[in-house]
Structure 1
Amino acid sequence: MLSQQTYTEEYNEIVFHDPRTNKPWKDDQPIRKTVWTPALRETDIKYRNPYQTRHTFASALLSRGKNPLWVAQQMGHKDWSETFAKPQ
């Protein structure tokens, strides 16, 4: 985390940066094209939208018996009921 901070402290809320420019990513497309899609291809994993990793994260924690309220907080939900809401 400290090594990442040297790149991001001037941007405050921006955590990840483009290692080629040392500036924040402009949007998700470069990340998708240079990191996400190649990683999935190399590991022979069917393409998933990066947003879906939120659901994988929550499911993995809940499957391991983590407190639903804590998981909801990690997800940025107001309360635990949003964590258990069924997708529409």
Structure 2
Amino acid sequence: MITFEQARQVVATSSSVIRFFGPGYTVADYGWENTDVFVIAVAGANGPIFDAPDLLVDKRTGELQEIFGMLGRDPAPDLVPIGDVPD
């Protein structure tokens, strides 16, 4: 099992995330989790980006999955906050 910090590092070093968000993006120190995945929050250099993919990191393998088109729906079931999630 990987840790939340390791999942954040997976997102921070992903070439596809870097291409999508561009230079200056930040990986938040909060997110959401369930028993299988971490959902990692990312902001662009100018703040949140709408229509961005949800970034899920598998807790067992560390594999990153980018899910597009959720439109406000949870990308995974039974998510709970991890870290200091803003309101």
TM-score bin, normalised by smaller chain: under 0.3
Where relative contact order (Cα < 8 A, 6+ residues apart) is larger, the structure is 2
TM-score by length of 2: 0.26
Q: Which is richer in helix?
A: 1
TM-score by length of 1: 0.26
Higher gyration radius (CA): 1
Q: Which is richer in strand?
A: 2
